Structure 1
Amino acid sequence: MMSLEVLFRMRIVLVAMSMLWLHQAAFTSAQECPSTHDLLNSLRQVEKMLAVHEASYQQGIRSLKKKMSALHNSTMAIFKTGATCPKLEPPPHGRRLGRVFAVGHEVHFLCKPGFELIGPRTRVCLDSLRWSGQQPMCRRLNETGNSLASFSPAAPSSSFPGSAALSAPSSSSSLSSSAPSLSSLSPTSSYPSSSVRPSHCTHFLGSTRCTCDVGFTISGRDNNICTDIDECLLFPLGQPGRLCIHQCVNTPGSFHCFCPPGYNLARDGRSCTDMDECENLMHNCTEEQACVNTYGGFQCVSVECPLMKNATYIKTSPMRCERNPCMLGDKSCTQAPSSISFHFLSIVSNMSAPRVLFRVSAARVLGDTLRFGLAGGRGRGHFSVQRSGRQTGTLLLVTPIKGPATVEAEVEMSELERNSLLGRYLTKVTLFVSPYEF
């Protein structure tokens, strides 16, 4: 690392000496000696240029050290033991999320629509090289493990095979012997549909009271039928008080919420939480690409330095390009951006505005003025840039964006001294908008 720094400083010194030599040669060729004022101005410009490049270089070195440290830590964690747990197969009618079976890694399980997960949603590879919990299974939502044993009066229930009759003794019986008796349910009997069940009725001292299980409502001429309540229809999506944030499926006596691909059902059973495919190594990005997690998915991005006629750039970090030194007197080169940074953000669809998205700051200021603004015509209908401090500008989302969409904006920071441009710094922001509002 130190050898690179020494070479970089030597290159800067050689550039500075070359500029001074060219400056002196220009005056010598004209048979004129430069004045002290001109020499001082030249030295100040060289000093400012060296300071700018040194600051950019130091920032690149710090970023590179962080990346190397993170890479080293992740590599050591992965290859600490070199052992893995046995490969887990997805349950029938379900999916397994996760392809790394090393110690400490997790795998997740989901079921197809129409099925519910029985068992743990997540299993972890333990130090003993065994998976935590039991293997889950996917069961159809209309499958129930309980029989339809219930109560109903003897006379009205005769038209419903399989109903349990509740009979009461005559009025001459003693009070102690007036407790109702329950007949057994025939094992071959069944109701036409799981959404219709017999009611629970008690007949006592000439009066009858019928009730239903949770999720059913009483119906029928004699209140002897319980009909399933469609909670999804009662609380539709897009309305206040909705039951599910994405998809609601009615089940006998209840309901079940489903999430789109790329999301997990939250612990409340109604909300959806985004899966981080990048962190969980569930992406297919190459080594040359960077994985950007989005709401409901991921994006593989690659950063390339721009090709310009008046300037050349070199990549100093995975998300930053620096301009090479310009020749003396090349104004078109000096007016090109000194550095170009790339940033990728993810938001949900129709996110409320105004909303702060990104901040741009100067590490050190050489001039007396900093100006912030949007460069080019990209994103002017959705974004705005405001100064939030002496050395900081803020990128704002001013109008909601309906997804799915990919929107770009370029934030420019200009450094000036006495209205003379010292440097331009460009930040390219790419916004990935999810098709969902969560």
Structure 2
Amino acid sequence: MNVRWELRVSSAASTPTGPSCVAVIRATSCTGTASLAVSLAGGVAVPVDLCGTESRGLPLTESLPPHCPPDIDECSYSSYLCQYRCVNEPGRFSCHCPQGYQLLATRLCQDIDECESGAHQCSEAQTCVNFYGGYRCVDTNRCVEPYVQVSDNRCLCPAANPLCREQPSSIVHRYMSITSERSVPADVFQIQATSVYPGAYNAFQIRAGNSQGDFYIRQINNVSAMLVLARPVTGPREYVLDLEMVTMNSLMSYRASSVLRLTVFVGAYAF
């Protein structure tokens, strides 16, 4: 219940049982502003609810001003009033969200997309990547020799370069964000082959970045696979996973590979 009490004494008189008065309490417990007629006698305030809901007694305490009903700590009654933090205030409560989130009318917290709103500090040579609770500025060109940039987020290792013989032919950079403490196993990212060669077989694996075994690959068919979260993870945390697709053709003695370098940002909260 979210009520702001304001006690106004309108009259007073003596009764056989002691002093009594009639007061008006203004409340915000129903639509608009409602008035409750209150009879104070014997240290108990009994509101007559003009909003049509059930009346109840409110014992008075010595620590409060005379004839003032005690504050109700709504936050202590339930942990579900607010998604993140409930703060009790005199006559009401308020919900708060952590930095990087905004409070919705439903008392839920929603991530603020700083990249979409423009509220970031990334330079023109950087790309803004949003994740739960924040953002990251990454260099637009992330290619490292012997790789060269051929398009946004894609690096190619030239076949003519001897250093490329034992390296994946290309690396594509992707970014995603997940919340903390997700139920597992959970599908988090699907890998899809962009080119299909007759007689070729594709195998998918995690080449690097999974030393703790938090993820695994489930191959769906010859051209796609799913990255699966194997166990709950708690953020803030960052993974850089090299997801490799190895293409083989035994008849032509052909073998090549390409890598999708996926950066996974784990938010600090479960929302």
TM (norm. structure 1) is: 0.50
Identity among equivalent positions (%) equals 32
Instruction: Please state if 1:324 is matched with 2:180.
Output: no
Offset of 1:280 from its aligned partner?
A: 0.5
Distance across 2 between alignment mates of 1:273 and 1:152: 49
Instruction: Please state if 1:369 is matched with 2:180.
Output: no
Instruction: Please state if 1:165 is matched with 2:21.
Output: yes
Structure with greater strand percent: 2
Matched residue count = 244
Offset of 1:154 from its aligned partner?
A: 4.3
Offset of 1:292 from its aligned partner?
A: 0.7
Q: Which runs of 4+ in 1 moved over 4 A?
A: 150-158
Counterpart of 1:381? 213
89, 93, 98: which one pairs with 1:255? Answer: 93
TM alignment of 1:2-401, pairs within 5 A: 147-149=6-8, 154-155=13-14, 158=19, 165-166=21-22, 200-201=38-39, 210-211=46-47, 218-220=58-60, 226-236=69-79, 242-268=80-106, 270-302=107-139, 303-307=141-145, 312-326=146-160, 333-366=164-197, 367-376=199-208, 378-401=210-233
**Cα separation, partners in 2 of 1:370 and 1:217, compared to 1, 3 Å:** farther
**Cα separation, partners in 2 of 1:346 and 1:151, compared to 1, 3 Å:** farther
TM (norm. structure 2) is: 0.77
CA contact (8 A) 1:374 1:384 kept: yes
SS at match of 2:7: coil
Distance across 2 between alignment mates of 1:412 and 1:157: 85
Residues 359-368 or 344-353, more deviating: 359-368
Q: Provide the alpha-carbon RMSD of the alignment.
A: 3.5
**Cα separation, partners in 2 of 1:217 and 1:255, compared to 1, 3 Å:** farther
Structure with greater helix percent: 1
SS at match of 1:429: strand
Distance across 1 between alignment mates of 2:121 and 2:149: 24
**Larger RCO (CA within 8 A; separation ≥ 6):** 2
**Cα separation, partners in 2 of 1:317 and 1:157, compared to 1, 3 Å:** farther
- Which amino acid counterpart does residue 108 of structure 2 have in structure 1? S
- Which amino acid counterpart does residue 147 of structure 2 have in structure 1? Y
Distance across 1 between alignment mates of 2:68 and 2:6: 16
CA contact (8 A) 2:85 2:96 kept: yes
Question: Which blocks of at least 5 consecutive residues in structure 1 are unaligned?
Answer: 1-141, 159-163, 167-181, 186-197, 237-241
- Which amino acid counterpart does residue 103 of structure 2 have in structure 1? L
Distance across 2 between alignment mates of 1:437 and 1:151: 51
Distance across 2 between alignment mates of 1:315 and 1:382: 30
CA contact (8 A) 1:409 1:430 kept: yes
Offset of 1:411 from its aligned partner?
A: 0.6
Distance across 2 between alignment mates of 1:217 and 1:326: 87
The CA deviation string for residues 352-401 of structure 1, in whole angstroms up to 9 with x for no partner, is 22122212211222242111011035355111011112201111111111
**Cα separation, partners in 2 of 1:150 and 1:396, compared to 1, 3 Å:** farther
Distance across 1 between alignment mates of 2:130 and 2:6: 46
SS at match of 1:375: strand
SS at match of 2:208: coil
- Which amino acid counterpart does residue 149 of structure 1 have in structure 2? R
CA contact (8 A) 1:217 1:227 kept: no
